[in-house]
Structure 1
């Protein structure tokens, strides 16, 4: 657990240092179209397994963003001495974002997230995991952009590191490590 935490802190610091230089870049955005708007759309997550989700994302001014997502899918799980199993899981996630660079049709941002989910796994007719809860804190960097011909549709891509907080040492839920999310949102 301590090793995972130290890895999490190291990745967070590296992403922060890589982002600092761009703060001093010129800001030539006259007006970013998705500022002060809320969007609804699809969000996919790749964390070893692929999870589909729905998302609500909004920007307060040009710089501060918030997102709430819900995901459902199958994930790889290793329980005791069994082979790798596929388990059903759902998770909800909240993200806070700060746009470091803002242009007319794009934003580059860094942020933090926290997620909560439950997992259920059955092997050979036996209930191995019965709706056990877990937490997934993380940090990420990403970009969101739109096109001048279709400015109300935003496309986003994030990459970062997620840890996992789970109280069963006999179960390894493969949701920690480097992950990526991508999505498409329609802004109102």
Structure 2
């Protein structure tokens, strides 16, 4: 809980410091819907890094406020010291709320909060042994850039800290804790 409080305080401070430097420029792709790929990598203390590739839909309602929905799929492989080979298939759906205190003609700096639900199924030496449902909450900061010649394409980069926990309350032997630093990159084509 202490890490979550620190991360939220940092995100709040970034909003306060950046709010005074917002420009009056019309940001790129306001009111348009963008679709495209989104990739996320999470580094945790408990497992090999999780990498998920997904599909994303992003919409900037105003210069400053946006929302994004993502669906990720990823796998991991781990070799346990006592000889078992573990692998997992994970699907994760998230919703992200974004606030951009700095908006320029071809870029935005934003802070956000992402939340979602996921499910992992675990295989041990090729046989399914368990499944685990979890939730994710992630404060983040990010940027989105557009080239002046191709304003309908936006490229984004984000860094955050994920907090996860079990959603189903069971005592899974293969709980997949994705708490840790997360980095995301993506591209959206706006219609």
State TM-score, norm by structure 2. Answer: 0.86
**2:188 is equivalent to residue 185 of structure 1:** yes
User: What residue is the counterpart of 2:111 in the other structure?
Assistant: 110
When structure 1 is superposed on structure 2, of 112-121 and 165-174 the one drifting more is 165-174
List per-residue Cα deviations over 1:49-95 (Å, max 9, x = no partner): 2110000000001111000000011136799x776732011110100
| Alignment partner of 2:31 out of 20, 29, 36 | 36
Unaligned 5+ residue runs, structure 1? none
Q: What aligned pairs does 1:18-57 form with structure 2 within 5 A after superposition?
A: 18-29=14-25, 31-47=26-42, 48-57=49-58
CA 1:13 to 1:78, structure 2 compared with 1: closer, same or farther past 3 Å? farther
What SS does the corresponding residue of 1:25 show, helix, strand or coil? coil
Unaligned 5+ residue runs, structure 2? 43-48
Deviant stretches of 4+, over 6 Å: none
Contact 2:85–2:124 (Cα < 8 Å) also in 1: no
What SS does the corresponding residue of 2:146 show, helix, strand or coil? strand
User: What residue is the counterpart of 1:75 in the other structure?
Assistant: 76
**2:11 is equivalent to residue 15 of structure 1:** yes
Q: Distance in 1 between matches of 2:75 and 2:98?
A: 27
What SS does the corresponding residue of 1:17 show, helix, strand or coil? helix
Q: Distance in 2 between matches of 1:51 and 1:187?
A: 23
When structure 1 is superposed on structure 2, of 145-154 and 168-177 the one drifting more is 168-177
Aligned length: 181
CA 1:122 to 1:187, structure 2 compared with 1: closer, same or farther past 3 Å? same
Q: Distance in 2 between matches of 1:97 and 1:77?
A: 34
Q: Distance in 1 between matches of 2:53 and 2:69?
A: 14
Q: What aligned pairs does 1:118-157 form with structure 2 within 5 A after superposition?
A: 118-130=119-131, 132-157=132-157
Contact 2:70–2:94 (Cα < 8 Å) also in 1: yes
Q: Distance in 2 between matches of 1:65 and 1:52?
A: 21
User: What residue is the counterpart of 1:171 in the other structure?
Assistant: 174
What SS does the corresponding residue of 2:18 show, helix, strand or coil? helix
